Copies of this chain bind each other. A is one copy, B any other.
């Protein structure tokens, strides 16, 4: 129950209180232990290559990083019973990306985009996640791998 409250709190925070999330227009769809999913609609101001009318690579990187960071946070919330609510909240506010790789697979065309992430290395200090960005047809636009500081 308390875990779900933390997840609801983060979801609300991500959806309504992070300025750059608002600018891009992201919405958190799902946060569970094994999986996170966010969505962002295509908008004219997210275009990078005007000749091809496709998503800017920086938007792609942003969406992957948000989904990955959320997965790292979800992993931290899972440690609630072990480390307690105060420690979890403290860690959640400090989680940060150490490094990220993005692989761009095809031009970012679509009506909306979904970034999903899952944790591939659960550590006490570092979490590593893998992410995928797809459009509404399920085409894989980009894949990512990121390392987060979680303590």
A101 part of interface (Cβ distance < 8 Å): yes
A18 part of interface (Cβ distance < 8 Å): yes
- The residue on B at minimum CB distance from A61 is B61
Q: Within the assembled complex, what's the spacing in Å between the Cα atoms of A84 and B58?
A: 30
- Are the CB atoms of A145 and B147 closer together than 8 Å? no
- Are the CB atoms of B128 and A125 closer together than 8 Å? no
- Are the CB atoms of A147 and B57 closer together than 8 Å? no
Tell me the smallest distance from the CB of A118 to a CB of chain B, in Å.
12
Q: Within the assembled complex, what's the spacing in Å between the Cα atoms of A123 and B58?
A: 22
Contact of A58 (CB < 8 Å), options: B51, B66, B105, B147: B66
Q: Within the assembled complex, what's the spacing in Å between the Cα atoms of A78 and B98?
A: 22
Contact of A128 (CB < 8 Å), options: B21, B51, B103: B103
- Are the CB atoms of B143 and A120 closer together than 8 Å? yes
Tell me the smallest distance from the CB of A3 to a CB of chain B, in Å.
21
- Are the CB atoms of A102 and B103 closer together than 8 Å? no
19 A–B contacts from the bound complex (CB under 8 Å): A18-B50, A19-B45, A19-B46, A19-B56, A49-B93, A51-B94, A57-B96, A58-B62, A61-B62, A98-B104, A98-B126, A105-B128, A123-B149, A125-B125, A125-B151, A126-B126, A130-B143, A145-B145, A147-B147
